[in-house]
Structure 1
């Protein structure tokens, strides 16, 4: 499945949530979709926890 098709499906899900559930449902679906995207990237190995967490030594530079 291409990235464009996945994006279209995600957009349609957000549109349905916004139309039937209101703005709160739209935000909930968008937030859960973002969480699912990040978890998927972790599972695929594209992201690592170290990408988000830095040690104190790294912050000083």
Structure 2
């Protein structure tokens, strides 16, 4: 599934939650979606969290 399609589905889910459930349902779907993203990235890439942050300025390790 492409990134655009995943973004479309996520936006539609947030839109439906906001329209039918109100602001708090929108926030709940947003937080749970972000948690699912973190868990999915962890399971896919492994436990190396340093790669997620990107390089820091002054980091001389390569």
TM-score by length of 1: 0.76
Structure 1: gaps spanning 5 or more residues: 53-61
| Superposition misfits of 4+ residues, deviation over 3 angstroms | none
Equivalent residues, number: 51
Q: Which has the higher helix share?
A: 1
More contact order relative to length (CA 8 Å, sep ≥ 6):
2
TM-score by length of 2: 0.75
RMSD across aligned positions (CA): 1.8
